[in-house]
Amino acid sequence: MTPKQCMAVGTAGYTAMLSVLALEKHGITPDQGPVLVTGANGGVGSVAVSILSKLGYEVIASTGRTEHADFLKQLGASSVIDRAELSEKGRPLGKERWRAAVDSIGSHTLANVIAQTQYGGAVTSCGLAQGADLPLTVMPFILRGVSLLGIDSVMAPKAAREEAWARLQQDLDLEKLELLSETVGFDQIVEKATDIVDGKIKGRVIVEIA
């Protein structure tokens, strides 16, 4: 990858890869059932959709911006759902809809994602776009054996980083990376930083510094 492509991946993309690796290590395979990606139009989400689809998983993409459904399908999503289905306080256990999930949203969304995960499945937690709280019960864990896998990218050890970047080279389609990223100048950093917090950015933002 070029320096620019590495920044199209960035912490968000490398966090997506760490999440996929965590699911693999838990024994999740494409034949077991679909994988949900929340915040699918975001940085972690768009890269996760791309990687999972390339690896042969059936990907369900959840987003608040369903107008970008075509974009998500180009990245490899099989279906797109409205995040409103997941963002309100839900029941302790719901219908089993996916085998695994990559969640960058937290709060009620993550609680609902876990409550609708199939028996023996796993969910990674790697973000807090809705909130840092997690209002759930132990029911999905003790009745369905669901696992919640924590993902940290900031202090991840060197070996884990090397593994993630090697797998990104192998399992992230560079055409999709191009499709999901935009490049901005130094003087647009503050504007784009505001946009990303307001949920107005699709995919990844590269900054040309020099």
Partner 1 sequence: MNTFKALQISKDGEQQQTECVQLSREDLMPGDVLVAVEYSTINYKDGLAITGKGPVVRKWPMIPGIDFAGTVIESDHSEFSPGDAVVLNGWGVGEVHYGAYAEQARVKVTG
- 126 and 102 Cβ atoms separated by less than 8 Å: yes
The residue from 19, 46, 104, 125 that contacts partner 1 (CB under 8 A) is 104
At 4, is the secondary structure helix, strand, or coil?
A: helix
Under DSSP, the state recorded for 131 is: B
Find, among 176, 208, 26, 202, the residue nearest to 101 by Cα. Answer: 26
Shortest separation between residue 154's beta carbon and partner 1, angstroms:
4
**How is residue 74 written in tokens?**
């180009």
Strands 79-82 and 59-63: parallel
Shortest separation between residue 167's beta carbon and partner 1, angstroms:
14
Q: What is the dihedral of CA 56, 157, 161, 27, to 10 degrees?
A: -10
The residue from 64, 121, 127, 203 that contacts partner 1 (CB under 8 A) is 127
Residues 132-171 that bind partner 1 (CB under 8 A): 153-158, 161, 165
Per-residue binding letters, 74-103, with partner 1 (x by CB under 8 A): ------------------------------
Binding region for partner 1 (CB under 8 A): 3-4, 6-8, 10-12, 14, 42-44, 104, 127-129, 153-158, 161, 165, 184, 186-187, 189-190, 192-197, 201, 204-210
